[in-house]
Amino acid sequence: MEKATFAGGCFWCMVTPFEELDGIHGIVSGYMGGSVDNPTYEQIKTGNTGHYEAVQITFDPAVFPYKRLLDLYWPQIDPTDDGGQFQDRGSQYRTAIFYHNDQQKLEAEHSKLNVANSGRFTKPIVTKIIPASTFYKAEEYHQDYHKKNPAHYKEDRAKSGRDEFIEKNWNN
């Protein structure tokens, strides 16, 4: 098994694209990249800790290669927005690919270049590719939020503008 860690704005919205796929063995919402040990959501949401909201995926690369994870990741985000994602603004909602080994770094860089050269966007691709650091699991109420609170999740996602952006920029 390997780990893959992606930041794509609100971590609630980053779980569903990856779940229930053969070779995916777990998805955990949490925080990575900041300067505070064992941060809480209350600390993260201030935007002052340097952490990203992220999902960490445990996967079997023989069944679900890392490249497929990257191919699923990019169409979930606006890779040109360095101020957050959709309605969620602030440094904690920036996009990033956290690589866990040299091969992941190479594949992430290649995939970013492909997105940049795709002609989909007129603005530069600002999603960072960063070495993975300590991943802190978010509070339990954030785990599988879309299943625990489906009405609120659907309402929040509908208001976010994420789905409209995906449809306009990725599904064509």
Q: Give catalytic residues, as residue numbers.
A: 10
- Say how far apart CA 170 and CA 33 lie, in whole Å: 27
Say how many C-beta atoms besides its own lie within 10 A of residue 74's C-beta: 21
Q: Which residue has the tokens 């956290």?
A: 98
Q: What phi, psi does 62 have (nearest 5°)?
A: -75, -25
CB 52 within 8 A of CB 31: yes
Phi, psi dihedrals of residue 99, rounded to the nearest 5°? -90, 145
CA–CA separation, 79 and 127 (whole Å): 5
